[in-house]
Structure 1
Amino acid sequence: MREPRPRRLRRPATGLPLRTITPNALTALALSSGLTGVRFAIGGDWQMAVVMILAASVLDGVDGQVARMLRGTSRFGAELDSLSDAISFGVAPALILYLWSLTDAPRFGWICALLFAVFCALRLARFNAQIDATEQPRKAAGFLTGIPAPAAAISAMLPLYLWFITEGKEPWLRSPWLVAPWMAFIAFLMISSIATYGWSSLRLRRNIRFEALAVIVAIGATLVSAPWPTLAGLCVIYLALIPFSAASYRRIRLQRANMSVAPKPTAPSP
């Protein structure tokens, strides 16, 4: 009678699962796009520099969805995503705007560029510090704290869009005394405690879903045919909605506070 063969011990799983490669690769592509935007800015191709930042923002929005679909979320991916965001939406836009405008006021302009890049990193550090927190009332309600890094990068380049629209015929749009304060304003919005709309806080009624789809298609069409006026308009609308988002969250917070202090109904005594 043969003796049973000893079972081979399996090696402990090490490294990253294969399903996490795709979202991490998208994150790396976003990082590459942001850095490539700096390369185009050094060469004076401002439109391609902006396009690279926009491509990085699209990839940044896709990688998280892909990770959740493939069940490939990991702590490594979260850290890589934050590092990519700090470079693509903090360092890269700051350098692009500095090379485009702020070199005419190097000291003041460089200070504002540093503020934008550093405040972006501080925002991401705050996000990472709260990622394991059990109680996040704003996140539970679908709101964000401050404006996210991709939205800040796109909004900070609003003077550049207006300069494209005017075909460079309005030199005051390139003035560092306009661009630098605008960058500082967007930087403070990033690290502020203002509640802003997130995707989960936007809920559509069933009877207007078709109209919402038509609006999305129209925005996509205008982005292709007239990208710079569309981007400028979207930035203005997004920033104009911040007071409404803050008021909306304040109303939700008051409703929750009233529900928590409301007396519970008591059962009738027999």
Structure 2
Amino acid sequence: MPVDPNFPEMRRRRFRPIPVRMLVPNVITLLAICAGLTAIRLSTEGRMELAVAAIVFAAVLDGLDGRVARMIKGQSKFGAELDSLADFVNFGVAPGLILYFWQLHDLSNVGWIASMIFAISGGLRLARFNATMDDPNKPAFAANFFTGVPAPAGAITVLLPIYLAFLGMPAPPAALTLLYTLLIAILMVSRLPVFSGKTVRMRVPPEMVLPVFVAVVFFIALLIGYPWHILSACTVLYLLSLPAGWRSYRNHERAAAAQASTAVDAADADPAPPFAQATPETEQDDRPTRLN
């Protein structure tokens, strides 16, 4: 029998109350989008320090929403799609526009093209991540690596020329900033394995809990007091760590290939069949003796 969608019972089923735990991660994601959009507005007004700070704040919120969702079991398909949209705005569009309004506009259309390439690279990188997230053909060790530089890291990294300018260093030429922007864009869409650390589960001994708290508070205090020094140092260290991640991936790949080769060799070396084929002599001996 056809069901009337206007029937009150159907309405109650379709519009069920949503638990608050499902809303909390999405609220954090929306706050991150607000931070990214505010960064764009601040960059158009020439307040670059606040614009960069808004991007960093958006990156912090991006690291929190997924962990909060897993902690309170508030994952949802809607939240995953919203998070991808937020990453494209915050770590693709906003950094590209900040660089354009900061210096790349000196190169006219060439600078605008570089900003667009960076933003598009961020969107392509996110699309590839969503498409290959549930790939069943990926090896087990690949879960601990990103394919290409992730969008939040790319956004923080591409702003390195601005950090150095805030430290009082001479601003690099606009052409050098353009080449650096394109380099980070290429790293985002590349197949470079980048260590993620998602599957690393560290347990802190009880006697180290308080020192860890002190270290975290100390790092946050340094970030607040010396933001451009800390961001510059972290960016340089991150770029230097990329070859180490590639080398670690290759080592895992070789180990997996060696293990698979060993398994194939063991399968090829089959044991003798349980019932060996009788030789002619054996058949002759097994025949009953005829009496003459």
Shift of residue 14, structure 1, vs aligned partner = 3.9
Equivalent of 2:132 in 122, 130, 133: 130
Equivalent of 1:194 in 192, 195, 199: 192
- Quick check: 1:250 aligned with 2:253? no
Contact 1:138/1:195, CA 8 A, preserved across alignment: no
Identity %: 40
Equivalent of 1:86 in 81, 85, 88: 88
TM-score normalized by the length of structure 1:
0.86
Q: Distance in 2 between matches of 1:260 and 1:242?
A: 27
Equivalent of 1:66 in 65, 68, 80: 68
Tell me which residue corresponds to 1:241: 241
Shift of residue 153, structure 1, vs aligned partner = 0.4
Q: Which residue identity is paired with 2:254?
A: L
TM-score normalized by the length of structure 2:
0.80
Per-residue CA deviation, residues 71-116 of structure 1 (Å, 9 max, x unaligned), is: 1111111111101100110000100110000111111111110110
Q: Which residue identity is paired with 2:132?
A: Q
Larger radius of gyration: 2
Per-residue CA deviation, residues 45-68 of structure 1 (Å, 9 max, x unaligned), is: 111000100010011010001111
1:221-240 superposed matches below 5 A: 221-240=221-240
Q: Distance in 2 between matches of 1:189 and 1:182?
A: 11
Q: CA RMSD in A?
A: 2.7
Task: Kindly indicate whether structure 1 or structure 2 has the higher relative contact order, using CA contacts under 8 Å at least 6 residues apart.
Answer: 1
Shift of residue 154, structure 1, vs aligned partner = 0.5
Q: Distance in 2 between matches of 1:201 and 1:251?
A: 17
Q: Distance in 1 between matches of 2:90 and 2:191?
A: 23
Contact 1:34/1:87, CA 8 A, preserved across alignment: yes
Q: Which residue identity is paired with 1:246?
A: W
Shift of residue 157, structure 1, vs aligned partner = 0.4
Contact 2:141/2:252, CA 8 A, preserved across alignment: no
Q: Which residue identity is paired with 2:234?
A: L
Query: Alignment partner of 1:136: what SS?
Result: coil
Shift of residue 244, structure 1, vs aligned partner = 0.6
Equivalent of 1:148 in 147, 150, 153: 150
State which drifts further: 15-24 or 182-191: 15-24
Q: Distance in 2 between matches of 1:15 and 1:96?
A: 42
Tell me which residue corresponds to 1:105: 107
Shift of residue 131, structure 1, vs aligned partner = 2.5
Tell me which residue corresponds to 1:12: 13
Between Structure 1 and Structure 2, how many residues are aligned? 258
Q: Distance in 1 between matches of 2:16 and 2:133?
A: 23
Q: Distance in 2 between matches of 1:187 and 1:120?
A: 7
Shift of residue 136, structure 1, vs aligned partner = 2.8
Tell me which residue corresponds to 1:165: 167
Equivalent of 2:51 in 49, 52, 72: 49
Q: Which residue identity is paired with 2:153?
A: A
Q: Distance in 1 between matches of 2:131 and 2:64?
A: 23
Structure 1, unaligned stretches of length 5 or more? Answer: 1-7
Q: Which residue identity is paired with 2:65?
A: D
Q: Which residue identity is paired with 2:251?
A: R
